[in-house]
Structures are given as C-alpha cells and as structure tokens.
Chain A
Amino acid sequence: MNNMENMIGAKALMTAMEKEGVKEVFGLPGGANLPMYDEFARCNIRHILARHEQSAAHMADGFGRVSRKPGVCFATSGPGATNILTGIATAQADSAPMVAVTGQVPVAMIGKDAFQESDIIGMANPVVKYAFQPRHASEIPEVVKKGFFIAQTGRPGPVLIDIPKDVQQNEAEMVFPDEFKIPGYHPWADPDLVAVEKAIDMLLHSQKPVILAGGGTIISSAFAELQAVAEALMLPVVTTFKGKGAFPENHPLSLGPIGMHGHAEANRIMSEADCVLAIGTRFSDRSVGTFEEFEKNLKIIHMDVDPAEIGKNQTAQLAVVGDVQMNLRVMVKLLLQKAIKKTEETPWIKHVKETKAYWQENLKLHPGEMGAAKILRKLRELLPKESIITTEVGQHQMWASLFYDVIQPGTFFSSTGLGTMGWGFPAAIGAKVAKPDVPVVDIAGDGSFAMTENSLATAVLEDIPVIVFVLNNFTLGMVAQWQRTFYDRRMIGVDQGKCPDYVKLAQSYGAQGIRAQSMDELDKAIKDALSSDVATVIDIPIDPEEDVLPFVAPGTSLKDMILPS
C-alpha cells in the first residue's frame, strides 16, 4: 500500500494509466465520458481523436500489436460503446493487447434504459478477455492495474473498463496498489523441459518434418529462437497467415503461409509432411482446411501459451504448454548441448527446395503490367525492410500474403481472426504512433478503405503520415471472386465502380493523393509517399477480374488446392 491521495475517479484513471506508461490514447468523446476527457487537459497523455469509435479501437489495436503494450481507446456510453465493439472483437480474435475505456450512465440509472445506456458489459463479455465495471471511484486504480496486466500477459487480449459517470466524478481516497491478486488467472507456465526433449526426438525420428509457425510466434517475439531451431534441425518453415513473417520469407527454408490462400509450395509441403512442430497457432480452418483431413497421417507437436488450444481443433500427439519463446529457447539450448546440427541436405529438404523452386517459376501470374504480384513486389522492392505493413480484408490481403515477402520478422499485421474490413488503415495509424520512425503502409482494397477512410482526418490533423496503398479493382473483389467461382457469375452487391475518386478524397482531407497507372508511376508514387510528411493515398487501378490463386475452397483440404489455369 502506498500513495494515498484524494481525487476524483476520472483523475485516478489518468494517474493509473500514466503509471502503466500510457502516452497516447485514441478515442471520441460524449456526455458519459466527459469527466475523463476533462482530465486530458491536466495529464501527460495525448488524446488522438478518431472519427468513429471502431477506428479508435483499431488504432489502439495496431498500437498494441506493434508495441506489445495495450493500446488504449476511449468511447462514450451507448452508441459510442457499441461502435467500439467491432474493434474489441477484432482484437480478441487476433489476441491483441488492448484496454478499452467506456463511459456509462450513472450507477443509479443503470438498468433504467437511460439515455445512451447500453449493457456494454453484457454485450462485450463474449469478445473480451475480461471486463470491469467499477461501482465506486476508489476501485479505479486497482481495476486499471489489473486490466493492463490481464490485457498483456499470457495470451493477450482486449480488456474493457466501463465506468459510470458518477464513478468518474466522485472523489475518494485513492490507493495505487503495487500488488493485487487475481486468484483464477495463471498466465504463465514454466517451460516444459521433458516435452521439449520429446519434441526434438519426434522431429529427429520423422522423415518429413515441418515447422508451422502461427501468430503466437509473433506475439511472443520468438523470431531468433524459431530461426535457430529451423536451421539446426533443417526444417522447412510454413506459417499460418497470422504467422506470416514470423520467419524471414527470403530464407531458403521459408515456404510462406499455408491455407485457403496460402502459397502453393507451402500447401504442398504441409500436406506431404509426417510431423509438424506447430507453434502458437489455433489451427484455424482458414489455415488447415478440414480438420479431419489435416491431422491424417500427421504427428502434431503443439506448442501454445493457451492450454485450451490443445486439442481444440486438432489432436496433438505432444503438447508443450507455455510461452513459445521460453519453450523454443529451451529447445535451442538442448540442441546446442546435444550438439545437434544437421548439415547434410536430407532427401526431404531437397524435395522441399525443388517444390519451392518449381512453384516460384511456374505459378501463373496476371499477364498485365499492373497485375497484383508485380505491384506488391514493387512495393517490397522500395520499402525498407523494417517497414510495417497492415492490411485490410479481401483479395489485396491475400495478394499481400502471396507476393509481399516479410523480411524482418514481426512487421506484418492483418485482421486474420475476425477478418474485419476497415481494420488496416486505423491500425496503421496506431502502428505509426507506436513506431513513428519506420514507414507504415496499409495494403488496402477500395471496399475496405471505404469503411474507415475518415481516419484520414486523424492522420492529417494529428500528423501521422501513413501510406494507404489501394489496390483498386472497383469492386468488393473477394466476394466478386466467390461469385464468379461458386455462384455462376451472378455479381450481386459488389460493384463499387461509381465512387469515390480516392485521389480527390485524400486531397479533400489535406492528405496527398496519387494515382499510379503504370509501373513507372507506381515507382514514383511509392517514393513520393515515403518522403512525404503527410499521409498519402496511392490509388492503383487494377483489373476487376483478377482472381487470387491458388485457392483452397472452404470445406476442402490443402491437397485440393485450385491453381491458376
């Protein structure tokens, strides 16, 4: 116990957040959170105004994924709180650390259907890691401390703190605790030496082993460890889409993401493997196809921080529960101790390399000058390797998966769990706030960008110069592709052709807008954007009929990949 002080709840909130190291928050005010907003005038936290609460949450999410510290977003009660829900659910689906603070009607009005009352705790509970609703101002310091702790430990996730207006306004004697108890929360497990040893054994005794790195590898920053294990045991590395860039994609052992829109070579090798070291993945259906087919003839070693993931979607022969970086570290140590280092190329590795080379040469690409592959390879060529990429949701996202190689691990982020269109741009803003010194690019589709384009106002007014790279096919492309493939070309509800003009749109916000219709123009546009000190939208018209291929249709297995004909 220390630091006793009399203050109102709102001030206690800011003080507690300052103690957590919060420097920026993203939000939008209203009546029910005004006491908190008033405190921004008197504290050292920068408030960044979003134009929609969903975007505020995505900004916090992007900030959190890049900084590995909870991003913070603020919304008022009722519609502000419900607007923020999509952002919270997105963070939950991707295990991103976040603290969302909502205003609530005064305690005495709760349950009375008051103006702008919504039962946000009830609505959010299924999509948060935890939710608090302090009923007395004096609870706030401990709630904040617990909230930040829960959001960033174990498997990270969003925490909601819903504070009734009178609780913000009431004065109380505040105790800012150094310690607290959460009896039911055990975010850490010690590394499992025995299991790790068994895992090594299983990998050494299989003929066709692979590593499947998921998003958990990125969340725990296990990059060096992953690379050391892969190199020592000479294991090919495939990733999930969420794990894209956990391993340098220009490494000879790298095959890229598996899954519905995975790389052909990755899907092939994954379906031929006899043993997989799966790291920090929940075996999403988008990654593995049908569950039954995936685990057939495959020994699974599952490393994950979340015990509930073991056996949820796939049956593991061996489970290694705990932080994946810690367990991989143990593995590296054991490999060193036992002097296990494969140097000779096995027939399997030879086959892996041949498969990779084959697909890199023979995958049919769009013939036009402005095909997706060429555009994304140009972006890769011109961006420094430490640049951060976010994406929206759709074909452009999958083209990014296929054709934009992540070289520096942990620099690629996407809404892969919930698949939220409109995530990438605000998330890019949050990412840029977390890492102002590196270029941040949102790879977007026209449809997704339209969902949160008003964040341009935030980017311009708050001086957050991110780049939006719009692969503009004038359509909700991914849906259009499904309609072409599965619905006999009945194109319903996908045409976005008429508006808007994204160059003019950007300019109207005071941002830079550039249209790139040839490779030369694109080259120049990217360079201009990189040297610009305002946000830039690059509008790149592309063929509306270009498909993303290969494609593993829903309900089928990785073996049954549809290839470009």
Chain B
Amino acid sequence: MWAILSILVENKPGILFKVTHLFRARNFNIDSISVGVTENPDYSKMTITTYGDEKQVDQIVKQLDKMIDTVKVEHLDEHKTVFRELSIFKIKLSNANDSMEVNKLANAYGGKVHDVKKDSLMVELTATPDQIKAFEELAKPFGIIDVARTGVAALQRSGAE
C-alpha cells in the first residue's frame, strides 16, 4: 500500500533528521519527502509518502505520533486528498519535429515548457506521482537527459476530515 502521511512538526533545527532517522531505525521506508513551513512560523509540515502493509503504516503513524516534536500526524486518504509533486524534465530534441511533439505532450499534462534550446528543452510538471510517471514513459523515446523531482505535497479536501 502506498501511503501519504502529513506530519505537522515544531519548526526547530534537527527535526528533519529525527523524523528521517525514525524511519531508518524502525526499518521503514521513505518513498518521498517534502517539508515547508506553515502559515504559523512555529510549525512546519512534512509530507512523507511510504509503502507498507496496513499494519506497518499504522505502526509508522503511531511511532511518528509518539515523537515529542510532532504535533499532528495523519494518514491521508488518497481519494480525499489533493496531492501533487513538482518535476522538471530535461528532454532531448533530435529533430525539428521533436520540439512540437514534446510541447504537445507537455500541454496534455498541463506542463510548462522552459529553456528551449536547439537540442533540448525543459518541462515543468506539477501532477500526481502517477501522472508524472506516465509523462516520463511517454517522454522516454525522445531521450530524458535529466530529471529533478520534489516530494509530494498533500492536503486533505474540505469536509473530508
């Protein structure tokens, strides 16, 4: 099971280390991670995605909850949550046609095109990890020179609490 965890923590130095260390020490896995300060500067919000069976995810949540610096830990329901990841692909352009094709592809996924050069361009994509993966598959034949991805950021939809 793929799980999205939303973790509100005290905004203090060393907290990222503690959270990630907990995953290592307890033999859990981090699939992706993103951190940012909240509207209240005393708190940061981490979004961690992980894999595990129900029992494992339940344990992760409990262990995170037990940490004194974590204020609130939630296992978000994928279907009641808006979750996005930002990715930037640098894609190879081999002929004149490629540029148009890649542009079309980017448009189809709601991506933005940057840094267009003769033999490469960049696509910025904000989407779910699945969509990013789908885009990646379709972009592969052109040649992916480089890629950078953030972790997932997620918020529960209103009324879904």
Q: Which residues of A contact B17 (CB under 8 A)?
A: 122, 125
Report yes or no: A183 in contact with B62, Cβ–Cβ below 8 A.
Answer: no
Q: Does B66 contact A306, Cβ atoms closer than 8 Å? A: yes
Nearest A residue (CB) for B69: A184
Determine if B62 and A310 form an interchain contact, defined as CB atoms under 8 angstroms apart.
yes
Q: Which residues of B contact A184 (CB under 8 A)?
A: 9-10, 67-72
B14 sits at the interface (CB 8 A): yes
Tell me how far the C-beta of A91 lies from the nearest C-beta in chain B, rounded to whole angstroms.
Answer: 16
Q: How far is the CA of A226 from the CA of B67 in the complex (A)?
A: 30
**Known contacts A121-B14, A126-B21; A185 and B68 CB within 8 A of each other:** yes
A348 sits at the interface (CB 8 A): no
CB distance from A132 to the nearest CB of B (A): 11
B55 within 8 A of A: yes
Q: How many residues on A have C-beta within 8 angstroms of the other chain's C-beta atoms?
A: 18
Q: A308–B65 contact, CB under 8 A?
A: yes
Closest to A146 in B: B68
Q: Which chain B residues lie closer than 8 Å to A312 at the CB level?
A: 59, 62
Known contacts A121-B14, A183-B10, A308 near B66 by CB under 8 Å? yes
8 Å CB interface, A151-206 against B: 182-185
Q: A307 touching B59 by the CB < 8 A rule?
A: no
CB distance from A162 to the nearest CB of B (A): 12
Q: Report the minimal beta-carbon distance from A73 to chain B, rounded to whole angstroms.
A: 21
- For residues 104 through 136 of chain A, which have their beta carbon under 8 Å from a beta carbon of chain B? 121-122, 125-126, 129-130
Cβ of B114 within 8 Å of any chain A Cβ, yes or no, is no
Determine the distance from Cα of A182 to Cα of B42 in the docked complex, in whole angstroms: 12
Knowing A126-B21, A183-B10 are in contact, say whether A308-B68 is a contact too (CB < 8 A).
Answer: no
Q: What mask results when residues 14 to 52 of chain B are scored 1 for a CB within 8 Å of chain A, else 0? A: 100110010001000000000000000000000000000
Is B25 a contact partner of A126 (Cβ separation < 8 A)?
Answer: yes
Number of B residues near A (Cβ < 8 Å) is 20
In the bound complex, CA of A310 to CA of B18 (Å): 22
Q: Does B63 contact A (CB under 8 A)?
A: yes
Task: Please tell me if the beta carbons of A307 and B65 are within 8 angstroms of each other in the complex.
Answer: yes
Q: Closest CB-CB distance, B117 to chain A, in whole Å?
A: 42
Instruction: List chain B residues, Cβ under 8 A from A122.
Output: 17
B71, A308: Cβ atoms closer than 8 Å: no
Question: Does B58 count as interface, using CB distance less than 8 angstroms?
Answer: yes
In the bound complex, residues from chain B placing their C-beta under 8 Å from that of A310 are 62
* B68: A residues at CB distance < 8 A: 129-130, 150, 182, 184-185
Query: Which residues of chain B are within 8 angstroms of A130 by Cβ–Cβ distance?
Result: 68
Near A by CB (< 8 A), chain B positions 115-135 give: none
- Chain A neighbourhood of B71, CB < 8 A: 183-184
> With A and B bound together, what is the CA distance between A332 and B67 in angstroms?
32
**Which residues of A, 298-349, contact B by the 8 Å Cβ criterion?**
306-308, 310-312, 315
Q: Of the candidates B9, B18, B55, B59, which one forms a contact with A308 in the assembled complex, judged by CB atoms under 8 Å apart? A: B59
Partner among B9, B18, B55, B70 whose Cβ is within 8 Å of the Cβ of A125: B18
A311 and B58 in contact, given A125-B21, A126-B21, A183-B10 (Cβ under 8 angstroms) = yes
A182 to B9, CA, bound (A): 11
A111 → chain B closest CB, angstroms: 12
A229-B109 Cα distance, complex, nearest whole Å: 64
Q: Which residues does chain A contribute within 8 Å of B62, judged by CB atoms? A: 307-308, 310-312
- Inter-chain CA distance A229–B12, complex, in Å, is 45
A130–B66 alpha-carbon span in the complex (Å):
11
Chain A residues whose CB sits within 8 angstroms of the CB of B18 once the complex forms: 125
Bound Cα distance A20, B22 (Å): 31
Q: Per-residue CB proximity of B65-92 to A under 8 Å, as 1/0?
A: 1111111100000000000000000000
CB distance from A263 to the nearest CB of B (A): 31
Q: Which residue of B lies closest to A183 (CB)?
A: B71
A31–B69 CA distance with the chains assembled, in angstroms: 32
Q: Which residue from chain A places its CB closest to the CB of B55 in the assembled complex?
A: A311
- 3 A-B pairs with the lowest CB-CB distances in the bound complex, closest first: A308-B62, A184-B71, A308-B66
25 example contacts (A-B, Cβ-Cβ < 8 A) are as follows: A122-B17, A125-B18, A125-B21, A126-B25, A129-B68, A150-B68, A183-B10, A183-B71, A184-B10, A184-B69, A184-B70, A184-B71, A184-B72, A185-B68, A307-B62, A307-B65, A308-B59, A308-B62, A308-B63, A310-B62, A311-B55, A311-B58, A311-B59, A311-B62, A312-B59
Not counting A183-B10, A311-B55, a sample of 12 additional A-B residue pairs whose C-beta atoms are within 8 angstroms of each other reads A125-B21, A126-B21, A126-B25, A150-B68, A183-B71, A184-B68, A185-B68, A307-B65, A308-B62, A308-B63, A311-B62, A312-B62
Which residues of B are in contact with A by a Cβ distance under 8 Å?
Answer: 9-10, 14, 17-18, 21, 25, 55, 58-59, 62-63, 65-72
